[in-house]
Amino acid sequence: MYFELALLAYLVDMAVGELPGKHPVVFIGDFIKAFERRFYRNRILPGACLVFGAVALALGISLALVYLCGFLPSGLSLPVLAILASTGLAMNMLHASVAGILTAEQPKQAKQAISLLVSRDTEAMTETEIHKAALETWAENISDGVIAPLFYLVLFGLPGIAVYKAINTLDSMVAYKTERYFYFGKTAAILDDIANFIPARITALLIVLLAEDRQGAWQSVFRDGNKLESPNAGYPIAAMAGALGIGLGGDAYYHGKLKHKPTLGPALKPVNRATLAQGLNMKTRLDQIILALLAIGAWLY
């Protein structure tokens, strides 16, 4: 178990946020784009080879970095590894990105901000739809960008978080049910579903613990968590909806086509600017819970 490493990495992310320079995820993305340009075929085998290559690359580089850190002077290895691992955590960047919608002065600015965070069409979005999309992104990415990488960092150290980020990047780039990626991205989509199965449910639990109406949040998770196509995304989103007493999900346009999706949560209150602010305000208490759990783990192990 690597609780101490995870604790230090989370503290680095809280204090510094995004480090300067080219982000490791960008390197993974460059590899994916290069592979796709050279070897793309909308078949399962080329997509599986892409997944194997990206994961092997992330694993190999991270293992090499761990090995090299072993030559550092005593007491430096852990802090350096923590700085490296912090690049796989996105709490500060995620919160700041979603909070940018709150600070947008014009609807056009809000649409531009949300367009950077979601894959759905944003041009015709209403103010309510923008705030709903922002809360869904906030809830889902607490899992994908914070809890899941921490989970694998605790279990496997730097190689664990590196491999997870490779899987998650693959999912975000090629795991779409479109004509181009239906078969090519299938392996990436399945692997991402497996990797996020436990973290998504841990995230839902943490959000429920932060809710004023915990019973209502629990009911929302158990009633609605499995309603989306994704086996994982619905759980943190349903927990957020239940915690705020609102409805999330629902129909949305993707690539010009209307996609029918169920509503998650009790839909007792409207979704607006104040609701989004309330959801984002969970960050401080969530930080405290995560730090406390990592500190207890470091003490015990």
Burial group, residue 67, by CB count within 10 angstroms (0-12, 13-18, 19+): exposed
Flag whether pLDDT at 96 surpasses 90: yes
Mean pLDDT, residues 279-296:
97
Name residue 254's beta-bridge partners.
257
Place of tokens 């999330």: 248
Q: Which residues contact 121 (CB under 8 A, 6 or more apart)?
A: 252, 253, 254, 255, 256
Report how far residue 233's alpha carbon sits from residue 20's, in angstroms, rounded to the nearest whole number. 30
Mean pLDDT, residues 243-270:
88
Burial group, residue 210, by CB count within 10 angstroms (0-12, 13-18, 19+): buried
Burial group, residue 172, by CB count within 10 angstroms (0-12, 13-18, 19+): middle
pLDDT, tens digit, 9 for 90 and up, residues 106-155: 777 888 888 888 878 777 788 899 999 999 999 999 999 999 999 999 99
User: Closest Cα partner for 149 from 191, 187, 196?
Assistant: 196
- Full-model pTM: 0.94
DSSP three-state, residue 255: coil
Mean pLDDT, residues 247-258:
82
pLDDT, tens digit, 9 for 90 and up, residues 254-267: 777 778 889 999 99
